[in-house]
A = this chain, B = another copy of it.
Amino acid sequence: MDYVYGPGRNHLFVPGPVNIPEPVLRAMNRNNEDYRSPAVPALTKTLLEDVKQIFKTTSGTPFIFPTTGTGAWESALTNTLSPGDRTVSFLIGQFSLLWIDQQQRLGFNVDVVESDWGQGANLDILEDKLAADSAHTIKAICIVHNETATGVTNNLAKVRKLLDDYRHPALLLVDGVSSICALDFRMDEWGVDVALTGSQKALSLPTGMGIVCASPKALEASKTAKSVRVFFDWNDYLKFYKLGTYWPYTPSIQLLYGLRAALDLIFEEGLDNVIARHARLGKATRLAVEAWGLKNCTQKEEWYSDTVTAVLVPPHIDGAEVVRRAWKRYNLSLGLGLNKVAGKVFRIGHLGNLNELQLLGCLAGVEMILKDVGYPVELGSGVGAASAYLQNNIPLIPSRI
Contacts and interface: CB of A to CB of B under 8 A. Distances in A.
Interface of A: 1-12, 14, 16-23, 25-39, 42-43, 66-71, 74, 83, 102, 105-107, 198, 200, 206-208, 227-233, 248-255, 257, 260-261, 265, 268-269, 274, 277, 327-333, 335-336, 353-362, 364-365, 367-368, 371-372, 378-385, 387-388, 390-391, 394-397, 399-401
A358 B355 contact: no
Of A2, A227, A328, A385, the most chain B CB neighbours within 10 A belong to A2
Contact of A365 (B66, B74, B360, B400): B360
A391 B378 contact: no
A60 to B, nearest CB: 22
Given A8-B19, A9-B19, A22-B31, 20 more contacts: A2-B23, A3-B399, A4-B399, A4-B400, A11-B357, A12-B34, A16-B250, A22-B29, A38-B400, A66-B68, A67-B67, A70-B230, A208-B255, A327-B400, A328-B400, A358-B361, A361-B364, A371-B391, A379-B384, A383-B384
B36 A14 contact: yes
A239 to B, nearest CB: 12
Contacts of A251: 207
A78 to B, nearest CB: 9
Contacts of A6: 355, 397, 399-400
A309 B333 CA distance: 29
A374 to B, nearest CB: 12
A34 B14 contact: yes
B9 A23 contact: no
Contacts of A83: 228
B380 A385 contact: yes
A70 B231 contact: yes
A390 to B, nearest CB: 7
Nearest to A102: B230
Contacts of A391: 368, 371-372, 379
Given A26-B29, A328-B400, A360 B358 contact: no
A273 to B, nearest CB: 8
B107 A330 contact: no
Contacts of A397: 4, 6, 328-329, 331
Contact of A384 (B27, B66, B381): B381
A234 B277 CA distance: 40
B328 A396 contact: yes
A257 B1 contact: yes
A255 B255 CA distance: 11
A296 B211 CA distance: 41
Contacts of A198: 250
A22 B31 CA distance: 8
Contacts of A102: 230
A26 B30 contact: yes
B368 A390 contact: yes
A331 B329 CA distance: 26
A357 B331 contact: yes
Contact of A10 (B31, B250, B260, B378): B31
A357 B384 contact: no
B35 A17 contact: yes
Nearest to A23: B2
Contacts of A105: 228-230, 233
23 contacts: A4-B42, A4-B400, A6-B355, A6-B399, A8-B21, A8-B354, A8-B356, A12-B34, A16-B250, A67-B71, A68-B249, A83-B228, A206-B253, A207-B253, A208-B208, A208-B255, A329-B396, A359-B361, A360-B360, A360-B365, A379-B384, A379-B391, A380-B381
A93 B253 CA distance: 25
